[in-house]
């Protein structure tokens, strides 16, 4: 029972990371109709940027984290201005190849820094544990869950209480009508990419204490695709819920199923979900989210 609770807590924590990456993917996809294959690389970059600011430049951890997220968000906005907006209105293939290529360039750029390519890093508070009676939880897991909750509240407030959030939502619903209503659609696309890149960087920083910061940490973003699909591909809360569901399912599979099947579980779930619930697990209810 105790071990089950511990496995669940780590599953929820890693699921929050999947969910955040899926959220960033869905946010970009909804607002700009662009399929981003570079969220994993932005995540990795976020982790390294935080690390560099903290260890190399000597900033306090909190400032380093904020700086890293801001830097990656700026990078996302810049890339949108320079290249990514060319993919708007084009077939999905264009965006897929473009973001894959940009992601490769980011990965290559980080890999050509010798210090980054050689070592794995951990953030200082990674090994702390918290004992709740007999239950011992990793501090990093609780930290991830808390940060995700706070982030969700902030995002919900942004989307429902600010003009920019409203404009972004209008843009996602129908860019043409939004443009007719005076929404600066091009600026909203830049904003969506900045938000998406920033969210991926947050996910990278949250992942840093759980796994290490290393060049291939971005591969975890592949699991954001099943999470996004489980959430219906166009629903922000759905993406997060899908991510947490995946994290828990994966953790339970690691506990119950034979060695090695754990990594396949998200993709098997993706294909099963498409087969059985084509509208996503949260879909099928008219008038809620969806398209």
Partner 1 sequence: MKDRPCAALRARLAWAGWPRRWPALVTWALLLVLALVGLGADFAFGQVTLVATYAIAGLGVVIIVGQAGQIVLGQGALVALGAYAQALLVQAGLPALLALPLAGAVGAVGGVLASLPAGRLGGLYFGMSTLAFALIVEEALVRWESLTHGAAGMVVAGFGVAGWRADTPLAQAVVSIAVLLAVLALCARLLRSRIGLAWRAVREDETAAAACGIAPAAAKLRAFVVGGSLSALAGGLYAHWIGFISPEQFGLVFSFELLMLAFIGGARQLSGALWGALVVVAIPQAIAVLRDALPGDWARSAGLELVLFGAVIVGVVLFRPQGLASGSRD
Helix ranges restricted to H, 53-180? 61-82, 92-111, 114-118, 139-161, 163-173, 175-180
Neighbouring C-beta atoms of residue 100, cutoff 10 Å: 15
As measured in angstroms, the least distance from the Cβ of 188 to partner 1 is: 21
Pick 53 or 102: Cβ nearer partner 1: 102
Pick 31 or 144: Cβ nearer partner 1: 31
> Please, are residues 16 and 224 in contact by the beta-carbon 8 Å criterion?
no
Pairwise CA distance, residues 175 & 211, whole Å:
39
- Write out the two tokens for 289: 């989210």
Pairwise CA distance, residues 82 & 4, whole Å:
48
Listed as own residue / partner, the contacts of 108-117 with beta carbons closer than 8 Å and 24 or more positions apart are 110/44, 110/45, 110/48, 110/215, 111/215, 116/48, 116/215, 117/215
Pick 126 or 222: Cβ nearer partner 1: 222
Pick 143 or 225: Cβ nearer partner 1: 225
- Write out the two tokens for 200: 């991926």
| CA 147 to each of CA 9, 51, 141, 194, 219: distance values in angstroms, whole numbers, following the listed order | 15, 18, 10, 19, 22
Pick 156 or 268: Cβ nearer partner 1: 268
In the complex, the residues that contact partner 1 under the rule CB under 8 A are: 35, 83, 86-87, 90-94, 96-98, 100-114, 117, 222, 225-226, 229, 233, 260, 263-264, 266-268, 270-272, 274-275, 278
Pick 167 or 192: Cβ nearer partner 1: 192
As measured in angstroms, the least distance from the Cβ of 161 to partner 1 is: 31
As measured in angstroms, the least distance from the Cβ of 192 to partner 1 is: 17
As measured in angstroms, the least distance from the Cβ of 106 to partner 1 is: 8
Pick 110 or 217: Cβ nearer partner 1: 110
Residues in CB range of 151: below 8 A, 6 or more apart: 20, 199, 202
As measured in angstroms, the least distance from the Cβ of 44 to partner 1 is: 12
As measured in angstroms, the least distance from the Cβ of 254 to partner 1 is: 14
Treating both helix axes as pointing N-terminal to C-terminal, what angle do 39-51 and 61-82 enclose, rounded to 10 degrees?
140
> Please, are residues 34 and 8 in contact by the beta-carbon 8 Å criterion?
no
As measured in angstroms, the least distance from the Cβ of 144 to partner 1 is: 24
């Amino acid at each position: 029972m105790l071990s089950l609770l511990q496995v669940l807590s780590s599953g929820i924590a890693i699921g929050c990371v999947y969910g955040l990456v899926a959220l960033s993917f869905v946010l970009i996809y909804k607002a700009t109709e662009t399929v981003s294959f570079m969220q994993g690389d932005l995540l990795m970059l976020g982790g390294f940027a935080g690390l560099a600011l903290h260890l190399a430049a000597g900033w306090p951890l909190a400032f380093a984290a904020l700086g890293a997220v801001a830097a990656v968000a700026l990078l996302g906005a810049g890339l949108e201005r320079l290249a990514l907006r060319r993919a708007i209105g084009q077939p999905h293939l264009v965006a897929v190849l473009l973001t894959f290529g940009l992601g490769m360039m980011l990965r290559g750029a980080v890999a050509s820094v010798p210090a980054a390519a050689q070592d794995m890093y951990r953030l200082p508070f990674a090994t702390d544990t918290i004992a709740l009676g007999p239950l011992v939880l990793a501090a990093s897991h609780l930290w991830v869950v808390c940060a995700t909750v706070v982030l969700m509240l902030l995002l919900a407030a942004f989307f429902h209480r600010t003009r920019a959030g409203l404009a972004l939502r209008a843009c996602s619903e129908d860019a043409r009508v939004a443009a007719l209503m005076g929404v600066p659609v091009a600026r909203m696309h830049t904003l969506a990419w900045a938000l998406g890149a920033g969210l991926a960087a947050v996910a990278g920083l949250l992942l840093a204490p759980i796994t290490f910061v290393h060049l291939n940490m971005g591969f975890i973003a592949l699991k954001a695709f099943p999470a996004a699909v489980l959430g219906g591909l166009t629903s922000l809360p759905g993406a997060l819920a899908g991510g947490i569901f995946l994290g828990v399912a994966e953790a339970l599979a690691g506990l119950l199923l034979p060695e090695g099947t754990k990594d396949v579980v998200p993709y098997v779930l993706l294909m099963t979900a498409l087969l059985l619930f084509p509208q996503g697990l949260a879909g099928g209810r008219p008038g809620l989210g969806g398209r």
